[in-house]
Amino acid sequence: MKKALLTLALSTCLAACGGSDKSAKNDDQIKIGILTDSPVAGATYIVNGNNDNTKKTNANGEFEYQDGDVITFKIGDIEIGTVQGLARVTPNELVDEDLNADERNKRIINLLIFLQSLDIDEDKETIQIPDDVSTLSPSAIDFSNTTSDFRERLQGQIINIPEIASNIVVSEEQAKEHFSSSLLKDIQGVWYAKNDESEIVLFIGENGEYMLGEPIPNEPNSSSNGMEYAKINLDALSGSLYASSINITTPVIDTNEDWGLLDHGESRSMKLSFDGSILKISEAENPDESAEFTRVPRNNSGIVGAWQSSSGKQIFVFNSNNTFIMVDAVGDDQPDPYDGPCGGPGIEYGRYQLRDNKLFVTTPLSIDTNGCAGLSNTDAHLGLPLQISTQSLSFTVADEGTFTLTRMN
């Protein structure tokens, strides 16, 4: 992703997936969607207006649908929105997108407040709707009201629901913060994108710290081959995204010039959306310039997939086409006491093979911007003794010891 973000057309099978393309499609297949701010359990949903086809979302906020279905969600007698069947439904999707921006935002906020205030579960990972919400009055719950008026009216309603122990309506700021933190939780993990020019590995941690590495195989000597490390700041209501140095454990790193989420260390105004499978990041001022990421799947055997060092600051993605990407926010972590480190943060991109329980890496690497760190100075071309289990990968480097990575995603 450079300053004008690359429009990344995903191939039918991403290099990291190792799976096959299934062209057959059954339009009548039952699909599973999720109703979420956090997953909303106990919400009623009606399929295609058929009251005989009324169910409730399960403990994970899941509902069933088929392609083309129209789903109406309700809490008791309160209708909260109607959508086409989707894999991921949030208040953003439930509120009419044809409303003007201010009115739409107000209604989304009111709906967030409504759902979160009805939660009887102190665990903020889910929203559990009370079994009996029959006392909620449709005449009192109007999402078009001002937020202050909406909160006041809702307060008068929830005191009549015994299961809600606190009986306190959440604030606007609490509702928006919860919505953003829930989205951040949903997009944690390792993501991958590829086009004809570059490949991108994006890791998002649980506290919002991210690492991004983008090798440009056709331009191995480009100074834009590099990585970023910073913190994602996300507003789920607007989709606004920017990178910053606030509350991260390592200073901001930006070695890829004007590619990625930073421009020579300065934050850029971006937008983020997530439909349950595709993570899309685009320029705020130029939304056609975007990148689409798919989560790197977890395989419980073999080397293909994403791996993390014990420090959490080094990520390896081994692809099924025998290429690998290392995103390194550390560099040389065993510097010479007199000469200092021989490599800094950067990326590696190259080819690998597994033979006779050894990891072989073709040298010189196609791209190597972290100096002596990583696999470039390990005699990996001769083969590193390797052990792979369900959870970990260990390789041994002569005179340096054994290094263990943990399987991710």
Question: In the predicted model, is pLDDT for residue 321 greater than 70?
Answer: yes
Question: pLDDT exceeding 70 applies to what percent of the chain?
Answer: 93
Question: What is the domain partition of the chain in residue ranges?
Answer: 28-185, 186-295, 305-407
Q: Can you say whether the dihedral through the CA atoms of 179, 181, 184, 188 is positive or negative?
A: negative
89-98, 142-151, 290-299, 330-339: least confident range: 330-339
Domain 186-295, what fold?
Lipocalin (2.40.128)
Q: What is the DSSP string of 77-119?
A: TEEEEEEE--SEE-HHHHS-TTS-HHHHHHHHHHHHHHHHHT-
Supply the angle between the helices 172-186 and 101-117 in degrees, to the nearest 10.
Answer: 90
Question: In the predicted model, is pLDDT for residue 372 greater than 50?
Answer: yes
Cβ atoms of 55 and 64 closer than 8 Å: yes
Task: Please determine, looking at this structure, whether the domain spanning 305-407 carries the CATH number 2.20.28.
Answer: no
Mean pLDDT of 220-244: 95
Domains 186-295 and 305-407 share a fold: yes
pLDDT of residue 334: 76
Type of residue numbered 25: K
Mean pLDDT of 218-230: 96
pLDDT digits 0-9 by tens, 169-216: 999 999 999 999 999 999 999 999 998 889 999 999 998 999 999 999
pLDDT digits 0-9 by tens, 114-151: 999 999 987 778 999 999 999 999 999 999 999 999 99
Question: In the predicted model, is pLDDT for residue 20 greater than 70?
Answer: no
Backbone φ and ψ for 84, nearest 5 degrees, come out as -65, 150
pLDDT digits 0-9 by tens, 273-295: 999 999 999 999 999 888 999 99
Q: What is the DSSP string of 213-238?
A: EE--TT-TT-TT-EEEEEEEEEETTT
pLDDT of residue 26: 53
